[in-house]
A and B are shown apart, each in its own frame.
Chain A
């Protein structure tokens, strides 16, 4: 099993550009989520999904879109990048049962100039 994979590992964008951060998991997990990690603020939930075709907002969803067309993939889209979106982005997955831990990808480091 590859677990949770994320691409790219690092990306530099100019303000206003768009891009998609890719996330895939091969564990057949129903639940997938995106977090951002910023110094002094800890990890914050952006969007999450409990299954294909079902997505919902986390605590910091503004500026980000997601979709879940398959169980395996959960891409995160930045429609018009802003410097405030400079961060490290982590994708995570887990079974739907709340008692299970979440498995994290290696992260995407994004710099918006």
Chain B
């Protein structure tokens, strides 16, 4: 059974730091992996989606990498800003999810960027 773990659960950094959020999964047979952002009381916003055949994706100050063989993904945030404060969720789609489109979710990393 696929399980997704995110470390650390919470992170507090000063503004301007480069930081790395970690996501690990137990079964390497995945279709894709996604990183989402969730602001308090709000829905989820997709940040980056990495297909199983890809190694990384970049969007602005965000870079996500995927290493299927080791069951790991990292989300790198460059030059962090207070506006980056949110919970970051990692989700994998199993290769055999079929029509279920089921995403298996980590519990998230709560990030606070202090001015």
Contacts and interface: CB of A to CB of B under 8 A. Distances in A.
Given A40-B107, A43-B105, A99-B51, A105 B43 contact: yes
What does DSSP make chain B's interface, helix, strand, loop or mixed? strand
Given A98-B31, A101-B34, A101-B49, A106 B43 contact: yes
B103 A104 contact: no
Most B C-beta atoms less than 10 A away, residue of A41, A43, A50, A56: A43
A-B interface, 9 closest residue pairs, ranked by CB to CB distance from nearest:
A104-B43, A101-B46, A42-B105, A104-B44, A106-B43, A43-B105, A101-B49, A42-B107, A50-B99
Contacts of A31: 101
A74 interface: no
A94 B101 contact: yes
Contacts of A106: 42-43
B68 interface: no
B12 interface: no
Contacts of B4: 42
Interface residues of A, number: 27
Given A45-B103, A101-B49, A102-B103, 15 more contacts: A42-B105, A42-B107, A43-B89, A43-B105, A56-B100, A90-B44, A98-B93, A98-B97, A99-B32, A99-B49, A99-B51, A101-B46, A104-B36, A106-B42, A107-B41
A103 interface: yes
Most B C-beta atoms less than 10 A away, residue of A4, A45, A109: A45
Contacts of B55: none
8 contacts: A33-B101, A40-B107, A41-B107, A45-B102, A98-B31, A101-B46, A102-B103, A107-B43
